[in-house]
A and B are shown apart, each in its own frame.
Chain A
């Protein structure tokens, strides 16, 4: 089975711009979660989607949004980028055991200048 794929792998944007990141989960998985990883804050939960519905959301401002499509692919959008948004954005695909197992993709490295 192919793993979780994320595109693009690297992205450079300037402050004020917006960005869209994409994630394709493992085939058959219906849950997609997004996490932000930074050296200072570690791994923080952004949101989770299951069957096109957001079922959980972390403590991030409304500039961070996401959606999931009928084929389980998910996109995450960040508007009005700030320098502090520079991070590795990780997508995780839900597996068996009621979706508790999470399998992460390689991430998208976002740099905001």
Chain B
């Protein structure tokens, strides 16, 4: 019940397009859902996060959509740029387990110029 499943494994988008990455979780006790961006040779960087009392959160070109009943959440990257090419990870945590993050498998995004 601790799993977070992420799809697709890889994604290719044209510059200016919308990138969409999806995650699904099983444990309804999860109450914090962050997204991380990782470039080669770097550690993951926190992009944006959401809590289940909100259905959508937007920060610049990045938007999280959250569907509590379906136990799914997704990351939308609007106007995708070549500089967005990276690996994206969704994650989840629950307060009763401290701040331990359970990560999805990752999505390798390539934005073609």
**Contact A104-B43, Cβ < 8 Å, known A42-B105, A42-B106, A43-B89:** yes
Please, which residue of chain A has its CB at the minimum distance from the CB of B41? A106
- Contact partner of A56 (CB less than 8 A), chosen from B36, B43, B91, B97, is B97
Say whether A1 faces chain B, with CB atoms less than 8 Å apart: no
For residue A98, which residues in chain B have a CB less than 8 angstroms away from its CB?
A: 95, 99
Say whether A102 faces chain B, with CB atoms less than 8 Å apart: yes
A99, B43: Cβ atoms closer than 8 Å: no
A87 to B106, CA, bound (A): 16
Contact with B along A34-52 (1 / 0, CB 8 A): 0100000011110010100
A-B CB proximity, top 5 nearest: A104-B43, A43-B103, A56-B98, A99-B99, A104-B44
A103 to B95, CA, bound (A): 18
A55 to B34, CA, bound (A): 21
A45, B100: Cβ atoms closer than 8 Å: yes
- Contact partner of A45 (CB less than 8 A), chosen from B36, B46, B95, B102, is B102
Say whether A74 faces chain B, with CB atoms less than 8 Å apart: no
A103, B46: Cβ atoms closer than 8 Å: yes
Q: Give residues of chain B (21-38) contacting chain A, Cβ–Cβ below 8 Å.
A: 32, 34, 36
Interface size class of B (residues with CB under 8 A): 20 to 34
Nearest-Cβ distance from residue B29 to partner chain A, whole angstroms = 14
**Contact A90-B44, Cβ < 8 Å, known A43-B89, A100-B32:** yes
B100, A33: Cβ atoms closer than 8 Å: yes
A106, B42: Cβ atoms closer than 8 Å: yes
B103, A55: Cβ atoms closer than 8 Å: no
**Contact A4-B43, Cβ < 8 Å, known A42-B105, A100-B32, A100-B93:** yes
A101 to B36, CA, bound (A): 11
Please, which residue of chain B has its CB at the minimum distance from the CB of A59? B2
A-B contacts, 18 listed (Cβ < 8 Å): A4-B43, A33-B99, A42-B89, A42-B104, A43-B89, A43-B101, A43-B106, A44-B103, A48-B100, A50-B98, A55-B98, A56-B100, A90-B44, A100-B32, A100-B93, A101-B49, A103-B46, A107-B43
